[in-house]
Amino acid sequence: MDILDSLAIISLAALVHASFQLSVSVLTLLSGHTIGSKRSNIRLFGLMTSFILGTVLMTLLIISSTSFVLVNIFETTPPALWTVGCGLLLGVAIAIWLFYYRRQKGTSLWIPRSMADYLTERTRKTHHNAEAFGLGLTSVTAEILFIIAPLFISSLVLTQLPPTWQIIGVAIYTAVSSLSLIIVWMLVGSGHSLSKIQKWREYNKYFLQFVSGAGLVILGVFVYVTIVMSSSAGLN
């Protein structure tokens, strides 16, 4: 697998990550509470920016640490580990199609109730940039059951790259996976109504759900064909 293919896999995995909605939900909730309390626009964008920086840092830490562990455990990544990664992608895709959103109005997600209550409560009590930053860290952790698949497969790909390209790959994944948050930040900054953004999310939630699952399936098939099957053919 050459560098271009590796970066393509990382980019697709990051796009799937960006399609997940927990961090976006928390960001819109945070923005709504800030607007509702009639705080200044400067404070609003400070909180939103700090939240996004928190998600960026946590994503960066997870993918970097996972890649570091894999590099130190395996001198060369065995085909079986790639197969496990593909199976994880398929399993998470099916889970997303079946129960990513709760069967009710709105955009409530299937995460543990205790975690959902904690995020909601912390969002209401977030008044300072440091608190928003911590909330961003927590929101990524709360969605780990869904984002673990693209993160894991990207980490495997990173272990195959030269050191310089590993850094570039981590940067690409972190930047692309944050696109949905950056788009919300830009929309709010350009004067778009938060209620319209939320209505759009609710109206298109099942489309986003399908796209997320389909992206994982496509990614899994591509990795299996280009890496697992080619490795098996090489052994034969």
Do residues 144 and 88 lie in contact, with contact meaning Cβ atoms separated by under 8 Å?
Answer: no
Query: What confidence category does residue 236 fall into, taking pLDDT thresholds of 50, 70 and 90?
Result: very low
**Residues 6 or more apart in contact with residue 65 via CB below 8 angstroms:** none
- Whether 233 is covered by a domain: the verdict is no
In this predicted model, which residue has the larger pLDDT, 197 or 33?
A: 197
Residue type, 39: R
- Whether 236 is covered by a domain: the verdict is no
Across 36-57, average pLDDT = 81
Q: Is the pLDDT of residue 155 over 90?
A: yes
Q: What is the three-class DSSP state of 212?
A: helix
What is the distance between the alpha carbons of residues 19 and 197, in angstroms, rounded to a whole number?
Answer: 15
Residue-wise pLDDT tens digits, 68-124: 999 888 877 788 899 999 999 999 999 888 877 766 665 566 666 677 777 888 888
Closest to 138 measured CA to CA, from 123, 148, 153: 123
Do residues 189 and 27 lie in contact, with contact meaning Cβ atoms separated by under 8 Å?
Answer: no
- Whether 41 is covered by a domain: the verdict is yes
DSSP label of 190? T
- Whether 152 is covered by a domain: the verdict is yes
What is the distance between the alpha carbons of residues 208 and 201, in angstroms, rounded to a whole number?
Answer: 8
Q: Virtual CA dihedral for 87, 214, 22, 194, nearest 10 degrees?
A: 170
Domain count across the chain: 1
What is the distance between the alpha carbons of residues 129 and 50, in angstroms, rounded to a whole number?
Answer: 6
Query: What confidence category does residue 234 fall into, taking pLDDT thresholds of 50, 70 and 90?
Result: low
Could you identify the residue written with the tokens 């894991």? 152
Q: Domain limits at 42?
A: 3-228
- Whether 234 is covered by a domain: the verdict is no
